[in-house]
Amino acid sequence: MNTEAEKRSLLLEMITLATVDGHLHKRELEFLRLVAVELNISEEEFQDLFHQEAKPLPIPSEMQRINQFYRLALLMHCDGVLHEREFQAIQQIALQMGLNLSAVKRVLEMMKKAPNTVINPIVLMEIFQEQHN
């Protein structure tokens, strides 16, 4: 992430996904707060983001788009409940990012089957790289 606007945009996108089911679970909030800390966003600014409308900025690099998709997928699973609205929203976001829908679905299925929903980063990248061939 280069600019403060890009950092806020990524976090706003995550907040939008976390609240798409109408409820913000405690574990989702904790996850969002960890991401905010990682992005050097203050607690005050973090709280303010919940009152802003998401206007996602384009993410220039495919690697960054895949990383953001994966963050969103982890967030989606962190409360232990996978809502249909979350599943639809993450697919829509991935399409808007320009990610391959087949790879997105494959990653989400792998996460569902994984004991802690975590996928090896190398495997994650290989799934998206397969779509380039």
Task: Say yes or no: 48 and 69 in one domain.
Answer: no
Could you read off the pLDDT of 3-30 as tens digits, one per residue? 888 888 889 989 988 888 888 889 999 9
Mean model confidence pLDDT for the chain: 88
- Asked whether residue 57 is assigned to any structural domain, the reply reads no
Could you read off the pLDDT of 37-49 as tens digits, one per residue? 999 999 999 999 9
d(CA 132, CA 121): 17
Could you read off the pLDDT of 62-98 as tens digits, one per residue? 999 999 999 999 988 888 777 888 888 899 999 989 9
Domain of residue 87, residue span: 62-131
- Asked whether residue 93 is assigned to any structural domain, the reply reads yes
Q: How many domains does the chain have?
A: 2
d(CA 85, CA 70): 17
Per-residue model confidence (pLDDT) at position 56 = 73
- Evaluate if pTM is beyond 0.85: no
pLDDT at 36 over 60: yes
d(CA 61, CA 36): 21
